[in-house]
């Protein structure tokens, strides 16, 4: 009998560039991302898979990070700089097809 295993191909790449993000603003501004523009294409955020704060004690920079799944099926790491009021795309995980 043949042993067939499938694995999902995942390509992870650093992005580190500014990105335009549309946000939900409830109790506070830019509470969570709803969509973002990448290569002139607007991607909707389907799910927020995680969020956390990062702080730099030397510069007092504080960022809110969101790992999101977009409507193209890929994962993205979006980072919001509270001091500069700006968004950055930090990383992309491109999820491929199953490989035999």
Q: For the segment 67-95, what is each residue's pLDDT rounded down to a tens digit? A: 999 999 999 999 999 889 999 999 999 88
- Provide, for the chain, the percentages of residues in helix, strand and coil under a 3-state DSSP scheme, each rounded to the nearest 5: 0, 70, 30
Residue 8 maps to a domain: no
Share of residues in the chain with pLDDT > 70 (%): 87
CA 99 vs CA 7, 8, 14, 59: distances in Å: 5, 6, 24, 45
Residue 91 maps to a domain: yes
For 95, the domain range is: 14-99
**What is the total count of domains within the chain?**
1
Q: What is the pLDDT of residue 100?
A: 47
Task: Provide the whole-model pTM.
Answer: 0.81
Residue 49 maps to a domain: yes
Residue 7 maps to a domain: no
């Amino acid at each position: 009998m043949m042993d067939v295993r499938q694995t999902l191909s995942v390509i992870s790449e650093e992005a580190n560039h500014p990105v335009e993000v549309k946000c939900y603003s409830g109790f506070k501004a830019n509470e969570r991302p709803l969509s973002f523009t990448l290569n002139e294409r607007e991607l909707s955020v389907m799910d927020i898979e995680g969020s956390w704060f990062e702080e730099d004690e030397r510069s007092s920079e504080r960022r809110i990070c969101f790992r999101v799944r977009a409507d193209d099926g890929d994962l993205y790491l979006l980072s919001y700089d509270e001091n500069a009021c700006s968004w950055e795309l930090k990383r992309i995980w491109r999820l491929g097809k199953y490989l035999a």
